[in-house]
Amino acid sequence: MNDASVPPEDPAAGDPAAGGPAAGGPAGAARRAVEALYADDRAAQALGIEMLEVAPGHVRVAMTVRPDMLNGHGTCHGGFLFALADTAFAYACNSHGQAMVAAGASIEFLAPCAGGERLIATASETSRAARHGIYDVAVAKDSGELRAHFRGRCARLRVPSATP
Binding site for its own copies (CB under 8 A): 36-44, 46-47, 67-80, 82-84, 86-87, 90, 99, 101-112, 126-127, 129, 132, 134, 136, 146, 149, 151, 153, 157, 162-164
> Looking at beta carbons only, is 21 or 72 nearer to its own copies?
72
> Looking at beta carbons only, is 23 or 134 nearer to its own copies?
134
Residue 120 bridge partners (DSSP): 62, 140
Element (H, E) at 27: helix 25-39
Q: Is the peptide bond before 160 cis (omega within 30 degrees of 0)?
A: yes
Mind giving me the DSSP string for 90-116?
A: HHHHTTTSS-EEEEEEEEEE-S---TT
Rounded Cα distance between 60 and 62, Å, is 7
> Looking at beta carbons only, is 7 or 79 nearer to its own copies?
79
CB of 150 to its own copies, least distance (A): 10
> Looking at beta carbons only, is 52 or 151 nearer to its own copies?
151
Residue 76 bridge partners (DSSP): 70
Nearest Cα neighbor of 80 from 150, 8, 155 is 150
Nearest Cα neighbor of 28 from 6, 1, 51, 52 is 6
CB of 114 to its own copies, least distance (A): 10
CB of 113 to its own copies, least distance (A): 10
CB of 4 to its own copies, least distance (A): 21
CB of 21 to its own copies, least distance (A): 19
> Looking at beta carbons only, is 55 or 148 nearer to its own copies?
148
